[in-house]
Structure 1
Amino acid sequence: MVGLSASYFWFPVGTGNFLHAFFSTISYNLEPNGWGTKYPFLMKRLYSGNLENKFVPALLEEVKEIRNLLEAIPPSKVIWDIEDLSKQPPWGNDISPEITSLANYFANNRGEDLFELFKRAIQTAIDYDLDLKIKSL
């Protein structure tokens, strides 16, 4: 289980593969010049494990923009692993009809939308002046 951590606040995402798919989908669909070239705070700093508090507000802006852009991209464009484009999600194309775009494709095993989870974690880090990290339990 991996998740976002702001000190003792914990926001569960899911498996490492699931989180990597989230990042892979963003990079493949929205960063034509490569991983982290358009969204460095999310794709480079946070993905590497730790984002210092002073960069957290910029991360929030990136996440908002990413979600807006992914609303125009169909769920069929999901990328499970950017290093191996032949890999597919374990559920294949068997997804809920409520999933209408890549903006609402990702949800944790509690059913929480991943973008909403990221926004809550980011806002918590801002409110309490904390770094934001990706951690594994």
Structure 2
Amino acid sequence: MTVGLKAHYFWFPIGTGDFLHSFFSTISYNLEPNGWGTKYPVLLKSLYHEQLDKAQIPALQEELNNARELLMDIPPNKVIWDIEDLSKRPPWGDDISPEITSLGNYFVSSDSKQVFDIFLKAIETALQYDLDLRIHSM
């Protein structure tokens, strides 16, 4: 089952639920020393758990840009597959493309798109059409 972002009838596929959870887990574990959603509440509390109201989308964009910038300085071996079970590892292990140089560019969809770029495209679309945004499974 593919998980992605949905803004009304616009669909932005990302990957499996585990893969998307790893994206969120990596951000929280590496950038939020005080726990899940303490630095990025719109991303990790509002969007992760429910539909994000269109009024919160600019704050989401700011949080994502900040997280991406900070993750660019963290090596890819610091990826977290599941914040609830730190012993879990990505199914591909350490076998990653040499193009992946940091956690800022670690997450790539099955169709070779950066997950941060997918998020930002979904945000851009939601802003353009004045839509709410949510995580959705297809």
1:49 offset after TM fit, Å? 2.9
Instruction: Provide Cα deviations, 1:75-110, integer angstroms capped at 9, x if missing partner.
Output: 000000000000000000000000000000001110
Q: Where does residue 97 of structure 2 map in the other structure? A: 96
For the residue of structure 1 that corresponds to 2:49, the secondary structure is coil
Moved over 3 A (4+): none
For the residue of structure 2 that corresponds to 1:84, the secondary structure is coil
- For 2:49 and 2:127, how far apart are their aligned partners in 1? 19
Q: Structure 1 length normalisation: TM-score? A: 0.99
- For 1:38 and 1:126, how far apart are their aligned partners in 2? 23
- For 1:123 and 1:50, how far apart are their aligned partners in 2? 16
Paired residues of 1:49 and 1:135 also in contact (CA < 8 A): no
1:50 offset after TM fit, Å? 0.9
For the residue of structure 2 that corresponds to 1:104, the secondary structure is coil
1:134 offset after TM fit, Å? 0.2
Q: Where does residue 13 of structure 2 map in the other structure? A: 12
Q: Percent identity?
A: 66
Q: Which amino acid letter does the alignment assign opposite residue 81 of structure 2? A: W
Instruction: Provide Cα deviations, 1:24-58, integer angstroms capped at 9, x if missing partner.
Output: 00000000000000000000000013100000011
In structure 1, list runs of 5 or more residues that go unmatched. none
**CA-atom RMSD in angstroms:** 0.5
Q: Where does residue 63 of structure 2 map in the other structure? A: 62
- For 1:34 and 1:119, how far apart are their aligned partners in 2? 24
Aligned residues, how many? 137
